[in-house]
Chain A
Amino acid sequence: MFKTKYLACMLGLGAMLAGPAFAQAPGVTDDSIKIGIFGPMTGSAALFGKAVFGVEAVYKDVNDHGGINGRKIDIVREDTGCDPTRGTAAVKKLISQSQVFAINGGLCSGVVMAVKEEVAKAGVPFVIIGAASSAISDPMMPNLFHPVATTSNVAKTMIDFAMTREGTKKIAVVSHSDDWGKSNRDPAVDHLKEAYGLDPVLDLTMERGSSDATPQILKIRNADADFVVLMMYPAEVAIFLRDAYKYGLKVPVLAPQSISLKDTRERVGNDAAVENLYVFYPYAHPTDSPEMEKWGKLINKYYPDERVESFSYLGMSGALAVVEALKAAGPDLTRQKFMDALNDLRDFDSGISSAPITFTPEDHAGIKGGAMATLDDGKVTVMKKWQDK
């Protein structure tokens, strides 16, 4: 009896002492690292969910090339439907039920803002896929990394681009009056005021679901605007361009990264109507260039039926940064080592994003700067300033 108790005590003590040496971080085993991914795979914003396939393709490719430090990436995907309530459930499931090592997810800013505190409390490293609100990474959260051009960054790039044309004085802004429209409009108007001391010559709204932009177009024509900044969804941007063409308005139109040039051209069905459209472009090269095509092929290697669009590439840079940091964290992987490695990431050029990714312990908004793109003879042309055309 005494021997049994003694043996049990010794085993218990041994286990306690040996514990730290054998302790694995949550979601990490000898041969796998569990990474949680979430995005809107269903619902009205499912188009944004295309980015999830790009992220997963990066991880699957890493697995096919032997993994990271002997471990394969185990992907756990959850759908949010772009709804904060469902998104919170998805993240709670990833953390408490799937027990992932890290999360690489989030394409809807509302969802990310809703789950931020939850992830902060859990201490799980969280790398954003594509949600762009500046409030996600400002103020900074130690375990949240934002390798995405934020709304402030996008607005700044658009306004700065317009101001590179000599004599630009009158910028008209047309936005949706909803939360998305406002979160994009406000940084643009603020930057115009702060950097150039200008107010928009017109500050108009066009509601989601509108089928006619005549009132806005006529006002812009009367105001003799030099540029029009559109903070609107793809359908309404197409309607605006259709009506602008109809009324002969030939003012350059700037739109954010949620607008795809080719998709807009298809929607409008008229090449001439999109001649004056310039969109914020989050990538280094046109999507039909050989540099980007290889990433499209990678997506189709693992998802043959997936139609690759500009959104598909959105999270791939971030996923490559995650892979880089996992490698740098070494074989004794912990969450802290992984976050330290991300904090050490400087000028990480994935070859996809229009600007390199840099994280510091003080700043987790990883992408600064960007470019604009337009269609030139039907081909996407990337521009840094007006004169590049």
Chain B
Amino acid sequence: MSDLQATLPAGPVRRPASAKRWLVRLAIAVLLLLPPVFSNDYVQYVVNLIVVYALVAVGFNVVLGYLGQLAFANAAFFGIGAYTCGISMVHLGLPFWAALVPTGIVSLAAGALVGLPALRLKGYYLAIVTLVLGELMRWSYIHGDVLTAGSSGLGIPPATAAGFTFGTEDEKYYLFLLVAAVMIWATNNIIRSRIGRSWVAIRENELATAALGMSPAVGKVTAFAWSGFVVGIAGALFAILIGRIAPESFNLHQLLLHFAIVMIGGLGSILGSILGAIVLTAAPEVLRNFPGMEEIVFSLLLIGVLLFMPRGLQGVLVGWFPRLRERLYRE
């Protein structure tokens, strides 16, 4: 063994977290636990919705931002997750925690299935094929009365765990926070792993990725599968939050909202996904007393971001605080 090899660490280099970093993390954790103390039922509902959409955007960003594929199956994954969770709870009598298992499996499988056309299609063609899936799923929810209760909507019982019912918005918040934190942490780790780097490599140059010995086919299917999984779990949280899921909740408007969250927050950025979810979920509520303003602000935000902030809100924030820069974010 040479001297050089002897000095190299066996695995990836991990910087030891300083006391200051731990303090910052602790402060963030405490801040995240606080909202229910200061909010009423309405404000807490909006905060819970932000958590759900943050998770949706993180999942969508895997395909749109990290993998760089123009695919719009997100509303379909969201609906599949919500309905699988709802059907598991209502028809199979599973508690929420157990219902997350079939939800995860079905969403993951749906994601992998959508990933298959992505092996042969690109750009607008892939966009159209994935868009159709959303409409096809919506048709299935409407006409699958026996399982989905059709257009009347499927009533979802509250989540329970060890005899405890997450009935209020405050209780739901802590449940959602836990699930979202685990999912976002896992996504962040995957993105920094070999698999995640292969997604980014495919985005930058598919041929070069293959030349490096990484299979673009495997990369694409895993990215779609993980995206489906994360968004499906977000769909399950959405079902619990709303308490009744109906086909109209998973229409084109839902897809546009997801797309805008990712674009405004920042493509290929977890922080951006969260920022986008905060802005686009809170804005309609802030503008509630100004009829018509929501559409105008929504449009102006999208145009403004595309023209002046191509890296989204995350890019602006990173300009102010360079330490927030994520390694694999999209330039």
A contact residues vs B (CB 8 Å cutoff): 41-42, 78-79, 81, 83-86, 88-90, 92-93, 95-97, 110, 113-114, 116-118, 133, 135, 177-180, 182-183
Contact = CB atoms under 8 A, between A and B. Distances in A.
B246 A84 contact: yes
B237 interface: no
Does more than half of chain A's interface fall in helix, strand or loop, or is it mixed? Answer: helix
Contacts of B42: 89, 92-93, 95-97
A118 B243 CA distance: 9
Given A42-B291, A84-B244, A85-B249, A182 B155 contact: no
Contacts of B169: 92
A114 B253 contact: no
A106 B133 CA distance: 31
Interface residues of B, number: 32
A118 B242 CA distance: 10
Contact of A41 (B151, B155, B291): B291
Interface in B114-155: 138-139, 142-143, 150-153, 155
B151 A78 contact: no
Given A84-B244, A97-B42, A118-B243, A89 B151 contact: no
B9 interface: no
28 contacts: A42-B291, A81-B294, A83-B253, A84-B246, A84-B249, A86-B284, A88-B45, A88-B242, A89-B45, A92-B45, A96-B40, A97-B40, A110-B249, A113-B244, A113-B246, A114-B242, A133-B152, A135-B152, A178-B138, A178-B151, A178-B247, A179-B142, A179-B150, A179-B246, A179-B247, A182-B150, A182-B151, A183-B151
A41 B238 CA distance: 24
A11 B4 CA distance: 83
A86 B153 CA distance: 16
**Residue of B151, B247, B294 contacting most chain A CB atoms (<10 Å):** B151
Contacts of B153: 84, 110, 113-114
A244 B46 CA distance: 48
Contacts of B244: 84, 113-114, 116-117
B204 interface: no
Given A97-B40, A182-B151, 15 more contacts: A41-B291, A42-B291, A42-B295, A79-B288, A84-B244, A84-B248, A85-B49, A88-B242, A92-B41, A92-B169, A93-B42, A114-B244, A118-B243, A135-B152, A177-B143
A93 B150 contact: no
Nearest to A183: B151
Contacts of B284: 86
Given A79-B291, A133-B152, A179-B246, A89 B253 contact: no
**Residue of B169, B243, B285 contacting most chain A CB atoms (<10 Å):** B243
B292 interface: yes
Nearest to B247: A179
Interface string B39-57: 0111101100100000000
Nearest to A44: B253
Interface string B146-183: 00001111010000000000000100000000000000
A182 B142 contact: yes
Contact of A117 (B43, B45, B243, B246): B243
Contacts of A79: 288, 291
A113 B152 contact: yes
B289 to A, nearest CB: 9
Nearest to A134: B152
A110 B141 CA distance: 14
Nearest to A133: B152
B139 A177 contact: yes
A110 B45 contact: no
A86 B151 CA distance: 18
Contacts of A88: 45, 242
Nearest to B39: A96
Contact of A89 (B143, B285, B292): B285
A283 to B, nearest CB: 26
A86 B40 CA distance: 17
Contacts of B150: 179, 182-183
Contacts of A92: 41-42, 45, 169
5 closest A-B pairs (Cβ-Cβ)?
A179-B151, A96-B41, A92-B42, A93-B42, A183-B151
Contacts of B143: 177, 182
B282 to A, nearest CB: 11
Interface string B240-271: 00111011110001000000000000000000
A78 B249 CA distance: 19
Nearest to B52: A85
Interface string B169-209: 10000000000000000000000000000000000000000
B295 A114 contact: no
Contacts of B151: 110, 178-180, 182-183
A177 B246 CA distance: 15
A117 B155 CA distance: 9
Nearest to B156: A117
Interface string B274-299: 00000000001100100110110000
B297 to A, nearest CB: 12
Nearest to A116: B244
A88 B245 CA distance: 12
A186 to B, nearest CB: 8
Contacts of B246: 84, 110, 113-114, 179
Contacts of A135: 152
A89 B289 CA distance: 13
A184 to B, nearest CB: 9
Contact of B243 (A42, A96, A114, A180): A114
A135 B249 CA distance: 18
Contacts of B243: 114, 117-118
B116 to A, nearest CB: 27
A234 B141 CA distance: 24
B156 to A, nearest CB: 10
B142 A178 contact: yes
Contacts of B249: 84-85, 110
